[in-house]
Structure 1
């Protein structure tokens, strides 16, 4: 069986569950909750997977091992985990069901190991169960807060983590499908890990600053941040840290930032 089959099955099941829950509840807040949980998952995955190489996915989506690993991770962090978290939040499932679902995820992880599409290094399956349980409790609590109360800090965190999820996914898609750029900071021997380790932080900083500007409703702040990122891009390109293919230019990133700013304003 091709390695990508189990991952595609997870994606299809996740999409069907999310569509069913959204249709059944007619609760648009679930979309916000979904992006919020993806953002949280990305932050955790950055540390345990990209920086500390806890495990490896082998879906065989692409030929580069590290990039294939990241794409395999997206199946879990952008589909399976956040969708089930949304289901738990939407129906406010009791803690015993949360624990049961966490055990099911542990079983899926062991199945993936037996199929040879997933390898653990220092990571243990019990860690997955613990973090899944914590994440599901957060989702249940966060959905209740979205429904029953409105405070500015909740809105700020929703905006940041949702956009972090969206912007990081766009970055990974551009790198994987179009090879828009490469960044070499020398943190890791692997080119892909080196690119992702710095690029992810750069995208998160960009997300945080543009979100701040939108929350403050300040065109001056947004203009300063936009100019600052253009200067940073130029410096990285001039020092050969940032490498662009022949078809690409810094204008592409400027245009992409404009799209990010407009989308952030709309999402806000």
Structure 2
């Protein structure tokens, strides 16, 4: 019980610190639309990193002790790290144009936290090394800076990939929530392992994000209906192939989930389109 409270307190403290950074960023900076787009892209980049390092190669293990299932608790710890701690900080540093000397100090902070968590035994290494963390985080800081600049410029390829990132992150997060609520599960064969689930689940979200990015159009209900039809069909095909499990009792919830994803994808498309319009206006005025 003591260890559980200690672990939760440690992760909760980091959540408070980095959420405060995000709150300060959105309060102090007026470019909130572009910051929001950049934030979800920051999270997406971290998710891709975590997919290979944790989901595929199982480099380390988190023990936040928030969920009873150890596998889900491990992934929840990863979500806290890759969706909050690092991306929120990267966005803050980017928005306030913090110099690299300070960024390297922040990088040292993250490495120090990793060593502290290892000492507290709430984080376990398999083959990973904190040195790798010290090398990887500055790359994320740099990518955050470059991406935000191109979002503000309205660079077409960056906006398109940003739309994909936004849809992907939302899908991954919703799928994780549904899994925690025991509404669905991915796997192969008769016995679905958690390793299989966390290999297949993100791939499902990637396929959906690619199709949604190419399909959805602002104000066009036909494109929304096409995306909804694809989403439901994709779900049913995977279920027929026994790659996905969901009970009949969850049909209505999953239907609403598919609809929610379509509406959010359309909303994200509207945000990205508005930035493209700003770019076109600036070119016209020049």
Same fold (TM over 0.5): yes
Q: Show the 5 A alignment for 1:203-218.
A: 203-214=205-216
- Structure 2 CA distance for aligned equivalents of residues 158 and 98 of structure 1: 24
- Structure 1 CA distance for aligned equivalents of residues 154 and 195 of structure 2: 39
Q: Is 2:115 the partner of 1:118?
A: no
Contact 1:10/1:75 (<8 A) preserved:
no
Q: Is 2:105 the partner of 1:100?
A: yes
Aligned mate of 1:180, from 149, 168, 183: 183
- Structure 2 CA distance for aligned equivalents of residues 235 and 154 of structure 1: 32
Shift, 1:79, TM fit: 0.8
Aligned mate of 2:18, from 8, 14, 35: 14
The equivalent of 1:241 in structure 2 is 243
Q: Show the 5 A alignment for 1:98-177.
A: 98-147=103-152, 149-176=153-180
C-alpha RMSD of matched pairs (Å): 2.1
Structure 1 stretches of 4+ with a deviation exceeding 4 A read 215-225
Shift of the 116–74 alpha-carbon distance from structure 1 to 2, 3 Å rule, reads same
Shift of the 51–190 alpha-carbon distance from structure 1 to 2, 3 Å rule, reads farther
| 2:249 counterpart SS class | coil
- Structure 2 CA distance for aligned equivalents of residues 125 and 69 of structure 1: 18
Shift, 1:88, TM fit: 1.1
The equivalent of 1:32 in structure 2 is 37
Shift, 1:190, TM fit: 7.4
Q: For structure 1, which segment, 233-242 or 27-36, has the greater mean C-alpha deviation from structure 2 after superposition?
A: 233-242
Q: Show the 5 A alignment for 1:42-81.
A: 42-81=47-86
Q: How many residues align?
A: 263
Shift, 1:232, TM fit: 3.5
- Structure 1 CA distance for aligned equivalents of residues 70 and 114 of structure 2: 19
The equivalent of 2:272 in structure 1 is none
- Which runs of no fewer than 5 residues in structure 2 stay unpaired? 270-286
Shift of the 227–41 alpha-carbon distance from structure 1 to 2, 3 Å rule, reads same
Shift, 1:168, TM fit: 0.9
Contact 1:181/1:243 (<8 A) preserved:
yes
- Structure 2 CA distance for aligned equivalents of residues 231 and 243 of structure 1: 14
- Structure 2 CA distance for aligned equivalents of residues 145 and 199 of structure 1: 30
Shift, 1:26, TM fit: 2.4
Shift, 1:229, TM fit: 3.9
In the TM superposition, what whole-angstrom CA distance separates every residue of 1:76-98 from its partner, at most 9, and x where no partner exists? Answer: 11111011101111111222222
- Structure 2 CA distance for aligned equivalents of residues 111 and 185 of structure 1: 38
Contact 1:11/1:75 (<8 A) preserved:
yes
